[in-house]
Copies of this chain bind each other. A is one copy, B any other.
Amino acid sequence: MKSNAVSLHQIAVCHTDTPDAHVAKNRKDMITTIRVFAPYREGLVGIEAYSHLMVIFWMDRVTDLPLVTHPRGDTAFDKVGAFALRGRNHPNSLGLAVVQLLSTESNEITVKGLDAFDGTPVLDIKPYDDYDVVQNPRVPEWFKQKSRTRN
C-alpha cells in the first residue's frame, strides 16, 4: 500500500512585472519569464521548436478554500466543484496554463498567457502538441457567459 503523499520540487520560478492584483484580468496578455534552476536547464534543449507550452505551477499563496463554489463568485450560477472550475480551490494547489512561447535562452524562457503571480514556483513544463487540440470543446453555460463579458 502506497502512502498518499507525493513530494515534488520546484524546478523554476516565474518573473513578471504584472502586479498580483492584475493577474486574473490581464491573463491573456501577461508576459512572464520562467527562470529554470541550474540542474534542470538542459531540459530546455529543443523547446524552441514549439509555439506553445503547458506550464504546471504551484499556487503557493492559496489559503484553504471551499471545494464547491459559485463560478467566479457569481451567485447567479449554481455552485460547482473544484474539478469543474479552473479556480484556485483545488485539493492540490496546482496551476496549469497553456502559454505561447515567445523566446528561449539557455536558462530561461519567456511566455505569454501565464496566470501566475511573480515569484510563483514552477513544477513542470510540457510542450503543447496536436494531441492537446480539441475542436469546439463543450463547456458549461456559465463559462460561455463569463467569457463573453471578460474582455
Residues of A in contact with B (beta carbons under 8 Å apart): 2, 4-11, 28, 36, 39-40, 42-47, 49-54, 56, 58, 60, 67-68, 78-86, 90-92, 94, 96, 98, 121, 123-135, 137-141, 143, 147
Contacts and interface: CB of A to CB of B under 8 A. Distances in A.
Nearest to A86: B126
A47 B52 CA distance: 26
Nearest to A138: B51
Contacts of A6: 7-10, 58, 121, 123
Nearest to A134: B52
B45 A81 contact: yes
A78 B46 contact: yes
Of all A-B residue pairs in the complex, the 9 with the closest CB atoms, nearest first, are A46-B80, A51-B138, A49-B140, A46-B84, A45-B81, A43-B81, A43-B82, A83-B125, A47-B84
